Structure 1
């Protein structure tokens, strides 16, 4: 990266923040870092203070909670594109400045209209960072027109072989619906079918067995439907993090998880991106967004960060057999196969109760 603009694609845990810091060190100029949420922004700040010579006074946070502009400013996409009385005041404020470098974290989001506006902010250099450029709407090419060419991309297994991310074992666990669940699914309206099979009561027992199977490891249970997540939180006696969870509480729970005080967390899609949980060794996906490959990459990425003891990671997706849930799982399977991962399919009955 010779001081120009472009996109770097690296799996979660492989060091995208370090790449951003290196670009900043090379550019030696005022820098704006755009992130998906305040928690992610504070993780960036922690890493920059830890790995660079920047001081606390040189790094500002521009979010819903604070409005600081410093030589290095970390801002959320959401606050940047917030509109008041028809005007984008924050966007106009930042657009009036001539930034030396803008770092777009999770740059695959940029083609979406609400994020795309941030591409108009003036900057001499742009760096986009993402784990995968896959988009379900097929607009990956828009990222290059907005930011610049792809500078680096490597297969995940190649990065794993070099020791930068943990090896992962991917398993699809198929659950058989009860007769009542099958009947309800058969007569449901098309738009309700995915929710019904994705949140099937029959999934709960296997999720509990998987968590117990990995007792002693840190486990993330990930889903898309809040009622389902609340029920799993109660079943597993585990805290739930979702969109309405306040930033301070999120940070407290994430830190308790990192330290080992909490061994299991139930999380919604808010944990899909930009959350650094290096000791998470197991992810159990119970529901998602219609087989999204981008989401699959993000969720697998939660457990790919290298472990202090060198152990591998486990990624489970719990799927209702003979339903649209299984059809969507096939999309995820193809994505993981493209990344070089073996993908094992097992029956829920083959997951025994721990002794």
Structure 2
């Protein structure tokens, strides 16, 4: 036994990165283990109940998990851990929600003691309306989502077999052959088809009924959504992060499906259109007036057959509460990472649905569907006066102080010069820092203050090569329409957000026409919280197999 993995009884897995079988082991444990720490040589993963239940819902069984651990472990795997893995995975499905022709929504069990146990929970008991027999109780139909949440918290996740309403039928088909312009909008002009992994994602979602599809940025999550809509052929509510995303979804649906402009509505701060396919922003749905969510009626405005959540890892808390009432509708979440910095992954599991499909980034890269990426952390040293100022700064001010270090400006200018002529994004968090960089680089700046029309125009110029350098705030984290960016330079971020790091790398991963490698740089101030947050942000990408090279700002010439 000389595997790359050390399996410990506390359910931590230590992966030796330099081992020749490390990549195979990483891929095999990815469905059920989450990366916690990723220093240079040994990566630490943890096996959690939620990870095991997600694996179980995605079709992996305990035998496969045990086999992966034993196969790759350097030492004998603790017997207690193997027993725990089997017992935890066996908890999923001992309770199931189903539809009974006589009693309506029911909770059934294959283990009478488990049902007896959960019915004693004070938060579960009020959700039950009666008893059918020793193994079955009736559930208030309106409490389907709430019950799933509470059962998960009790450690007994229920498999939802209760099915879904058909919703209002509406014909939707993929437009794969290319066709003439319709209503002034150019349809796709060249034939295309779903990639194999996109088709697998749609099939897995449809077979499961509801759940989450995890694909790398640039791998075509929008097309998975469009294909799911075509499979459903019903009225569809699409929830997105912002108005720019809403309009990009609209453009993509017009180009890739048989939908016309009259069939797609935008429900945002600017417009309030309800049509067979309605694209709404999270912001407008979570807007309160006099303490009440003013636009909740949208959820009942049509008999939706499908509710689609873009960037599901960013769902605001009120949307979770609304989703608890939508359990009879098919729900599809799309994301590049299920990591949530607020720890609410369990809410996604219970209310949107379990992970139905997850494609490792490196596998998609190997197939040529996303660009290979070179990730580099460029470390700058604060000059002595700034080090002293940092040392005496209030703790809550230290990150901003370090993140906006003037030494980073020289790094950015050197990297922009190094990649002159290549489509480049400079990305940051703090507006004063970005305004200064935009001025020094003589480049357009896009922030939350930039109007939607201005953003769309600058994105168009960038796509078409009229502009090859943009300075952007976090509003660009979720732009799905910057296909030609090949260089990203990150100067500051949302503290230690792993999901943001994934989104920002995703800005440059769309495949390049000439097959070139993408470049993702992060400027970091050493010996500060900036470096600590950078290490945390990189965890998710390390889990996907991306290695960060670390260079000193003074050694930029040696990057190659």
- Tell me the TM-score normalized by structure 2: 0.61
Kept after mapping to 2: 8 A contact 1:209/1:352: no
1:77 matched to which residue of 2?
282
Partner in structure 2 of residue 223 of structure 1: 428
- Counterpart of 1:119 (choices 295, 305, 323) is 323
State whether residues 501 and 538 of structure 2, in contact with CA within 8 Å, keep that contact through their aligned partners in structure 1: no
Rounded Cα–Cα distance in structure 2 between residues aligned with 1:259 and 1:292: 31
* Rg comparison, structure with higher value: 2
Structure 2: distance between partners of 1:81 and 1:125:
21
**1:66 and 2:274 equivalent?**
no
C-alpha distance in structure 1 between counterparts of 2:206 and 2:426, whole Å = 41
Deviations 1:278-336 (A, max 9, x none): 00000000001122111110111111111122212100000011111111111133332
Q: Say whether the 8 Å CA contact 1:6–1:127 is kept in structure 2.
A: yes
Displacement of 1:120 in angstroms is 4.4
* Deviation readout 1:236-287 (Å, 9 max, x if unpaired): 1111111111111111111111111111111111111143200000000000
- Could you tell me whether the CA contact under 8 Å between 1:77 and 1:118 is conserved in 2? no
1:76-95 pair list within 5 angstroms: 76-95=281-300
1:42, distance to aligned residue in structure 2 (A): 0.7
Distance 1:89 1:291, change over 3 A: closer
Q: Distance in 1 between matches of 2:277 and 2:379?
A: 48
Instruction: Compute the displacement of 1:352 (Å).
Output: 3.8
Q: Give the 5 Å matches for 1:1-355.
A: 1-2=205-206, 4-110=209-315, 112-120=316-324, 122=326, 124-352=329-557
**Does the CA-based 8 Å contact 1:81-1:117 persist in structure 2?**
no
Superimposed CA distance per residue, residues 34-84 of structure 1 (whole angstroms, 9 cap, x where no aligned partner): 000111011111111111111111111111111111111111111122222
Contact 1:209 1:353 in 2 (8 A): no
CA change 1:12–1:118 in 2 (3 A) is: farther
| CA deviation vs aligned residue, 1:110-138 (integer Å, no higher than 9, x gap) | 2x324324414635211000010111222
Q: 1:233 to 1:70 in 2, by over 3 A?
A: same
Residue 253 to residue 117, structure 1, CA distance change in 2 (3 Å) = farther
Contact 2:320 2:347 in 1 (8 A): no
Q: Which runs of 5+ in 2 are unaligned?
A: 1-204
User: Secondary structure, in 3 states, of the residue corresponding to 1:316?
Assistant: strand
**Hey, what's the Cα distance between the residues in 1 that align with 2:355 and 2:479?**
20
Alignment correspondent of 2:80:
none
How far off its partner does 1:96 sit? 4.7
Q: CA RMSD in A?
A: 1.6
| 1:168 positional shift | 0.5
Asked whether the 8 Å contact 2:312–2:334 carries over to 1, the reply is yes
Secondary structure of 1:2's partner? helix
**Are 1:336 and 1:343, in contact at CA under 8 Å, matched by a contact in 2?**
no
Structure with higher RCO (Cα < 8 A, 6+ apart): 1
Q: Which moved more, 1:256-265 or 1:87-96?
A: 87-96
Paired residues, what number?
Answer: 353
- Structure 1 alignment gaps of length 5 or more: none
Aligned CA distance change for structure 1 residues 132 and 328 (closer, same or farther; 3 Å): same
**Inter-partner Cα distance in structure 1 for 2:361 and 2:558:** 33
Q: Distance in 2 between matches of 1:89 and 1:63?
A: 12
| Residues 76-116 of structure 1 deviation map (CA, whole Å, 9 limit, x = unaligned) | 11112222233323112333532100100011122x32432
Alpha-carbon distance in structure 1 between the residues aligned to 2:291 and 2:395? 38
CA offset digits 1:128-178 (Å, max 9, x no partner): 000101112222121011111111002111111111111100000001111
TM-score by length of structure 1 reads: 0.96
Query: Aligned equivalents of 2:447 and 2:376: distance in 1?
Result: 25
Q: Secondary structure at the match of 1:280?
A: coil
SS in 1 for 2:329: strand
8 Å CA contact 2:498–2:540 kept in 1: the answer is yes
